[in-house]
Structure 1
């Protein structure tokens, strides 16, 4: 996925001092922010608040070591790896909690010496992982990363996940032109009847989040997550890295969605709608409101989620419900972007 981002044309580099900045160092997240700004890409699943959310899920069940690092040339970050090693009874897994680890590279400033040091540092970490290495390459620079090629050379396997991603840079009128034709009347209905509102760090209260939690349990037929998990998601919103969109009929919440953000990317996390009102287009206006809000925040990409077909992915097989949900998401425009999921049993194989 190529990002046409304006970069500072004349970045003055200090005398070349290629070095590694570890996750525990004070400058680490500043380096991540600089790199994200220059590349125009940062996974909402790997922000500081998102990692804190996932860490709390795992604490007590395994030992966690944050293995994240950046490769800097002087004060200028060139490459970042965000990864955690989870040590449980099954062994040591290198990933990023529920998600795969990621790599961010500045394609204009990075060079062979920086990649070489990154591989050296990565191998020191990865060779201690005896229960699998999981890496996702979202192709932010439009091509397979050097880390993907490195893992494949060690014998890693590769699966492709298809995701629906909306480019938010066009004007709102252009975005709306790409929506499936019949969805436009559904959005108009929802805007009129539900009047969706954005609940961000300044507006979301626990009482509102709790109503969303109960609606989600009612729609699913069970509690899928603990109350503590919902409270941790509220903390992501409070940190400015997420928001909720809520639609009401009268005073009753009938549809809501949770969305996670970085400075440049927005990811559709979860949603729920009243089951007894499924014949009405409840969520269309809620999702559209989220897309417009993400654009207003300055996000340039909106990840609607995985795109599923009857035999893709083949494993695990997906239900007709999953296929139908995916078809719903594609109605909001965007492009199908392949993500590469790379898995290696261990570095010694």
Structure 2
């Protein structure tokens, strides 16, 4: 077996491999790698991704991006968690274990080479089932990672649409019913999206965020994904003007709620636009025969080690309104710098202790 850097000559084979691997999802692809490399230029991102080959065939891939975040050198995705390695579907459990050990040894070596202080990884919830059953527990702990798992929400789309609607929270259904009389909804996919429509989404995003928070290149890539059937956009129009959008990644039967924006100056801001955008998107997912929808991460309270903000708790509640089930999201961090670990976890302990004492 050989380890090779992800170079231009491997990009096509990398993406073909991701389509077949039960461990991979969209964030493993070169599309998302390119997005992350453009997302936060102030982090000075650089690819450290590599493939494992046997007889010139890819048998595993490991996406890695080197970044400097607040002075910390780390392997991460825009400061967050990158995906775990992906393996060929036909490997035995023993072969997977052997290759995984080889991969994490390589990660350690690259960390040492680049002065990395921490690596952050998470298992993609929308990846398929793996032969070794590694999706059933956080296997990162076998390789020296601190378990930082959280939860996420998953909706089974392989059901009758009436059953899916019945699974919506009651207040969610009421908001949808009210909003249907206010907004006109359109789904834009590869056949219907235009550059002008996507630019309206971009301008709405900038306005809602109070300014442009990421480079133009990331929006250009998001448009390309729609034209490549790897994403779709849902827009809400009121009195002839678009006042809100939601953007969804769609890959290998799975859908992820990636982004939303609403016009903060519109008097329709609080009239259930977000609920209706979700529902119309879910109807479209079912019509297209997609399998699973992930609205996103779930936080219920300020617990250790992640002290969720009130905003995160409220967003989680909104996402649970679409129904489905709450599932574990396995992730972890591996520290190579003891001082960094001590400083970060001391701060987390102190913040949590303060929360326990004040309730705030």
TM-score normalized by the length of structure 1: 0.79
Residues 73 and 118 (structure 1 numbering): CA distance in 2 closer, same or farther, change over 3 Å?
Answer: farther
1:118 match: 100
1:6 match: none
1:342 and 2:332 matched: yes
Give the drift of 1:216: 2.8
- Whether the aligned pair in 1 keeps the contact of 2:18 and 2:29 (CA below 8 Å) is no
Higher helix content, 1 or 2: 2
Residues 312 and 178 (structure 1 numbering): CA distance in 2 closer, same or farther, change over 3 Å?
Answer: farther
- Whether the aligned pair in 2 keeps the contact of 1:138 and 1:338 (CA below 8 Å) is no
Of the three residues 299, 304, 320, the one matched with 1:308 is: 299
2:286 match: 295
- Whether the aligned pair in 1 keeps the contact of 2:299 and 2:308 (CA below 8 Å) is no
Residues 342 and 272 (structure 1 numbering): CA distance in 2 closer, same or farther, change over 3 Å?
Answer: same
Q: Once structures 1 and 2 are overlaid, which stretch shifts more, 153-162 or 101-110?
A: 101-110
Residues 313 and 107 (structure 1 numbering): CA distance in 2 closer, same or farther, change over 3 Å?
Answer: farther
Q: Once structures 1 and 2 are overlaid, which stretch shifts more, 91-100 or 255-264?
A: 91-100
Gaps (5+ residues) in structure 1?
1-17
Structure 2 counterpart SS, 1:304: strand
Q: For 1:121 and 1:314, how far apart are their aligned partners in 2? A: 27
Of the three residues 262, 265, 286, the one matched with 2:251 is: 262
Residues 318 and 198 (structure 1 numbering): CA distance in 2 closer, same or farther, change over 3 Å?
Answer: same
2:160 match: 171
Q: For 1:147 and 1:325, how far apart are their aligned partners in 2? A: 26
Of the three residues 206, 218, 228, the one matched with 1:239 is: 228
Write the mapping of 1:177-192 to structure 2, written as runs, cut at 5 A.
177-192=166-181
1:57 and 2:39 matched: yes
Q: For 2:167 and 2:283, how far apart are their aligned partners in 1? A: 14
How many residues align structurally? 325
- Whether the aligned pair in 2 keeps the contact of 1:246 and 1:286 (CA below 8 Å) is yes
2:62 match: 81
Give the drift of 1:333: 0.5
TM-score normalized by the length of structure 2: 0.76
1:323 match: 313
Q: For 2:314 and 2:171, how far apart are their aligned partners in 1? A: 16
Write the mapping of 1:214-233 to structure 2, written as runs, cut at 5 A.
214-233=203-222
String of CA shifts for 1:127-152, please: whole Å, max 9, x gaps. Answer: 22122111112465485459954x42
Give the drift of 1:115: 2.5
Gaps (5+ residues) in structure 2?
342-360
Structure 1 counterpart SS, 2:149: strand
Structure 2 counterpart SS, 1:198: strand
The Cα RMSD (Å) is 3.4
Give the drift of 1:101: 2.7
- Whether the aligned pair in 1 keeps the contact of 2:43 and 2:67 (CA below 8 Å) is no
1:30 and 2:16 matched: yes
Give the drift of 1:86: 4.2
1:94 match: 75
Structure 2 counterpart SS, 1:260: strand
